[in-house]
Amino acid sequence: MPFTLPLALTACAAKAPQSSRTADAKPTATAATTASAARPSLPLAGRTVVVDPGHNPGNFRHTKEINKKVDIGTNRKECDTTGTSTNAGYTEAAFTLDVSHRLRDLLEKRGAKVVLVHDADRPYGPCIDERARIGNTAGADAVVSVHADGSAVGNRGFHVILPARVRGGGADTAKIVEPSRTLGGKLADAFARATGSRPANYLGGGTGLDVRDDLGGLNLSTVPKVFLECGNMRDPKDAALLTDPAWRQKAAQGIADGIGAYLEG
Ligand code: ZN
């Protein structure tokens, strides 16, 4: 079951709003040259990043459980979905878990505390409302939900999904819309740089950014959060990338760079 529908395209997110801070990559480099050479640089020390591997490899065996609806504030929606796969059967859930492991390792090397929403250590899920709660409870500085899309052949490239402004029931994204947009913009830039992939050619108007109001994982988040669709598993050219471990390492690198750029300002 493909994960997304190319719904409401918005042209609003092309330019992630910049903070008032000025370019500040230099101090780290300067400090690094003066600090002890043996001391690793830990630019993300003290920061918490929650990494959400989309779906779960066990979801296929638990369709009854994952189809149960949960409250996402604005609506009720399935607990979780199976995710998509390549035509050859490499599943999105296997992909998201692999990229998430690589991403965790890269972020930990930079000093971040990393929480994985799941590690295939449960039979299915977690449900989307719990995925959001895990980020909230961790007090995450940033949350990235890793996915790959299941769209038509010829639809290629990556996109970041940003939370729309929604309010209803337990959902209120007012406080996270702007920081999430900043996070998403940095993520899109860094992902393109690291992987050489282009923004999706089938939604987002070439920006690599989309905004959605129907995802429980975003609607219920109280901390900056985005989804990343790394490519289209149903397109053979994108699938060739997504199934390549070397490319997945580049993908993880791009995500880590984007999170780093966001957290380091
Ligand atoms: Zn997905």
- CA-CA distances (angstroms) from residue 127 to 59, 69, 71, 139, 260? 10, 9, 10, 19, 28
Is pTM beyond 0.75? Reply is yes
Q: How far is the CA of 175 from the centre of ligand 1 (A)?
A: 25
Q: What is the C-alpha to C-alpha distance for residues 100 and 108, in angstroms, rounded to an integer? A: 12
CB 180 within 8 A of CB 163: yes
**What pLDDT score was predicted for residue 58?**
98
**What pLDDT score was predicted for residue 164?**
98
**What pLDDT score was predicted for residue 38?**
52
Q: How far is the CA of 224 from the centre of ligand 1 (A)?
A: 19
Give per-residue pLDDT as tens, 138-175: 999 999 999 999 999 999 999 999 999 999 999 999 99
What's the alpha-carbon Rg for the chain, to the nearest Å? 18
Q: How far is the CA of 85 from the centre of ligand 1 (A)?
A: 10
Look up residue 255 and give its two tokens.
């995500």
**What pLDDT score was predicted for residue 204?**
96
For the chain, residues with pLDDT lower than 50 are 1-36
Active site residue 229: yes
CB 51 within 8 A of CB 146: yes
Domains contained in the chain, CATH given: 48-264 (3.40.630.40)
Q: How far is the CA of 111 from the centre of ligand 1 (A)?
A: 28
**What pLDDT score was predicted for residue 12?**
36
Q: What is the C-alpha to C-alpha distance for residues 7 and 5, in angstroms, rounded to an integer? A: 5
Q: How far is the CA of 160 from the centre of ligand 1 (A)?
A: 12
Q: Given 65, 130, 229, 264, which residue is catalytic?
A: 229
Q: How far is the CA of 23 from the centre of ligand 1 (A)?
A: 34
Q: How far is the CA of 17 from the centre of ligand 1 (A)?
A: 27
Q: How far is the CA of 22 from the centre of ligand 1 (A)?
A: 35
Q: What is the C-alpha to C-alpha distance for residues 111 and 91, in angstroms, rounded to an integer? A: 31
- 3-state SS class at 28: helix
